[in-house]
Amino acid sequence: MASSSTSSVPKSFKYDVFLSFRGEDTRTNFTDHLYSALQLKSIYTYKDDLRIKKGKRIDDELIGSIEDSRFYIIVFSKNYASSSWCLDELVKIMKCHKQTGHTAYPVFYDVVPSEVRNQRGVVGEAFAKHEKEEAAGKWREAMKEAADLAGWELKKTDDGHEAKFIKRIVEEVSLELRSVNFRIDEKLVGMETRINDIVSSLETTPDDVRMIGIWGMGGGGKTTLARAVFDQISFQFEGKSFVENVREVSSTPLSGIKSLQKQVLSDILNDQGINISSVSEGKNMMWRMMRGRKVLLVLDDVNRMDQLEAVVGERNWFKMGSTIIITTRDEQLLVAHGVKLICNVNLLSDKEATCLFSRYAFGREIPIQGYEELSAQVVRYAVGLPLTITVLGSFLW
């Protein structure tokens, strides 16, 4: 049913979100727009009018997909309760909601919570035809339970503007997914504190175009740190791009800088058909197309000023709240470009270095008995460089 979006879904769940809705009410309007917005955020979503295959029993498909979803968004509309199919789906959702790892969120589209809770008003009218059915009792209970959950009501949110309403829903679901999915690789020793320091620094100026530089010697963990920060905060942005190996990519005469511009625009606009004829045209396109979006951009391993001037030349190229992270071995390059927030990547302490080496070499936090001296020699040789320690640890294993 859902698109082939690529979010980071835990192994125990096939889908991030399951959408429950009454097709005749919202399939081609609200639910369709909500589904598209979830896709754009790479939230893997199950929508039953897309994935069910002909010739298969819809019951089995739905039940399995509900069980395989972490979150449920239930779009209550005027005719939701008229469908026994929707109500059976709701009963299953509420049953899963009570289990660890699943969470249901009601969306009150053109109804209010009290109508769903008590089956009154337009909801009561829709439910009336089920009064004598055997399942009526469990359907009523499921509706009451769902209406009591924290969710979103269109009439009371953003003055009823659907676009803003959908944006709010997607942002909150993204935040919830981030909190349950994000974890720091246990082999990234000493990284958690460094990540938190940078994230905290960024939060000091939430309403500005924020530029932060990460500098240090080669192999010191700049790229790893930038990637971890990128992964942790990317859900907050309308567009994102992580450009690796800027030094290498831009070394190609004529086309190098243009390829950087093309990658950034293609990533953020989600358009692989962008063509740039010159660096100058690329700068104009960056300014024209990016200033309306809150973006997260990482430029990794920058070594020349023209790279920065071509891709992040002026702050007014970006919408307020955008964040640009630049990694480099040259601190003066950051200073010359006017980057105020500059973080030096400290090398690992002996304790951190020993732990990192041991995890790669022995699969544990301390050296195996008999390998203590060898580990100490490696740590001294690596002088705190994470890349060197990782390579040597992997080789020994």
- Summarised one tens digit per residue, pLDDT across range 268-286 is 888 888 889 899 999 999 8
Q: In degrees rounded to 5, what are phi and psi of residue 64?
A: -65, -40
Task: Considering the chain, tell me which residue range(s) the CATH 3.40.50.300 domain(s) occupy.
Answer: 184-344
Q: What is the pLDDT, as a whole number, of residue 242?
A: 95
Tokens of 181: 């999915």
Task: Give the torsion through C-alpha atoms of 246, 247, 252, 254, to 10 deg.
Answer: 70
Q: What is the pLDDT, as a whole number, of residue 179?
A: 65
Q: What is the pLDDT, as a whole number, of residue 325?
A: 96
**294: buried, middle or exposed (CB in 10 Å: 19+, 13-18, 0-12)?**
middle
Give the Cα separation of 277 and 275 in Å (integer): 7
State in words which class domain 15-178 has.
Answer: alpha beta
Entry pTM: 0.63
Residue 131 is among the residues annotated as catalytic for this protein? no
Q: What share of the chain is helix, strand, coil (3-state, %, to 5)?
A: 55, 15, 35
Superfamily of domain 184-344: P-loop containing nucleotide triphosphate hydrolases (3.40.50.300)
The catalytic position among 24, 61, 67, 89 is 89
The low-confidence residues of the chain, meaning pLDDT below 50, are 1-11, 51-57
Task: Considering the chain, tell me which residue range(s) the CATH 3.40.50.10140 domain(s) occupy.
Answer: 15-178
Backbone φ/ψ region at 72: left (φ over 0), alpha (ψ -120 to 50), beta: beta
Q: Is 70 helix (H, G, I), strand (E, B) or coil?
A: strand
Give the Cα separation of 236 and 252 in Å (integer): 33
